[in-house]
A = this chain, B = another copy of it.
Amino acid sequence: MDTKSLCLGALSLGDATGYEIKKIFEEGSFSHFYDAGYGSIYPALNKLLADNLVTCIEIEQEGRPAKKVYSLTDAGLAALKADLSKKPMRDKMRSESITMMFFGHLLEKPHREEILQSYIEYFRDGCDCIENIDPTGQPNGRRFARGLGLAVYEAAATYLEENKDLLLSDDKAGAETNVAEVTGDAA
């Protein structure tokens, strides 16, 4: 499951350009679970083309540069199915916001509050964005992804809202390693 498979998967839904492939995963309910940049997609498409897993037709356009529309080949569909039959790797996530909160004792309170507030908004915006997607008529896989995304974002937003005092208040218990630093540090 790398960018090559992601492109194959996108093309299994219909022919597309590299730009459109990015849009598929950028918009809609899916962007929260996987995304890839052009720096990954275009090289991936070139490799797929070299391996005859996709074909490409250049469509000339008036004025604009030609667009390259990619299509899945039979071999490409087989390769995709083979890849989907593998065991998925465990989820990976990277949250700089939470990492910063982890070291919250080194941050000034106003900045902590600022980060936390924009983090809450980030999840609330995510909820709104997902809710605006109409699931009717979509295949089950996409309905499922939409629902899961919504459930997780809602849970995160709610937790953040209900527990923000935990981060905004000063440490009282614990932090035995840093007691000296905390008391002596006003920078």
Contacts and interface: CB of A to CB of B under 8 A. Distances in A.
Interface in A109-142: 111, 115, 118-119, 122, 136-142
Contact of A139 (B136, B175, B187): B175
Contacts of A186: none
Given A148-B156, A166-B144, A174-B137, A92 B91 contact: no
- Looking at A95, A137, A159, A171, the one whose CB has the most chain B CB atoms below 10 A away is A95
Contacts of A140: 104-105, 166-167, 169, 171
Contacts of A178: 12-13, 139
A33 B103 contact: no
B98 A84 contact: no
A72 to B, nearest CB: 11
A56 interface: no
Interface of A: 1, 6, 9, 12-14, 30, 32-35, 77, 80-81, 84-85, 87-107, 111, 115, 118-119, 122, 136-145, 147-148, 151-152, 154-156, 158-160, 163, 166-167, 169, 171, 173-178, 187
